[in-house]
Amino acid sequence: MRLRVLAVGTRMPDWVTQGVDEYLKRLPRDFSVDIIEITPGKRGKNADVDRAIQGEGDAMLAKLRDRERVIALDVEGRSWSTERLAANAEQWRQEGHDVACLVGGPDGLDPRLLARAEQRWSLSALTLPHPLVRILLAEQFYRAWTLLAGHPYHR
């Protein structure tokens, strides 16, 4: 199984990169998570936000692989417990599925990607900044792995 996080945003501040790496470096090769950065569309005084979202959507669609399961990170999605995430990950692993989790930019995900996603996953009812979403995902994937591995980190 290959897990990928496709996330809008480049040149993250050090605290974000360090926070993400802190958890991802602990994962074994057969449960590794790759972060794929998507260049944000242009925003500004005269820039069209819809066009920016569409450009980000085009870039994400181009990166998706055939047969990859698509999970959209969406505040309005379903909330998963860590146990649910671990069970999902175990099922993906057993079925040999690769998985892409999609994180939108400042204006959210392109509706085409929300439509393409098999599931929408909410991390909380709070709207979170996208850099924090990366760190939370990294920690929760690590926590899910520790749960499956019977490691004391999850207790």
Ligand X SMILES: C[S@@+](CC[C@H](N)C(=O)[O-])C[C@H]1O[C@@H](n2cnc3c(N)ncnc32)[C@H](O)[C@@H]1O
CB 25 within 8 A of CB 143: no
What's the closest the beta carbon of residue 55 comes to ligand X, in angstroms? 15
Half-sphere exposure of 107 (CA within 13 A, CB side): 18
What is the x/- site pattern for ligand X, positions 39-78, by CB under 6 A? ----------------------------------xxx---
Retrieve residue 66's tokens: 């055939």
Distances (CA, A) of 86 to 91, 98, 112, 143: 9, 15, 27, 8
Which residue of the chain is nearest ligand X when measured via CB? 104
Q: Rounded CA gap, 1 and 95, in Å? A: 9
104 makes contact with ligand X (CB under 6 A): yes
Q: Smallest distance, Å, CB 52 to ligand X? A: 12
**Binder of ligand X out of 85, 109, 114, 147 (CB under 6 A):** 109
Binding residues for ligand X, per CB under 6 A? 73-75, 103-104, 106-109, 122-124, 126-130, 133
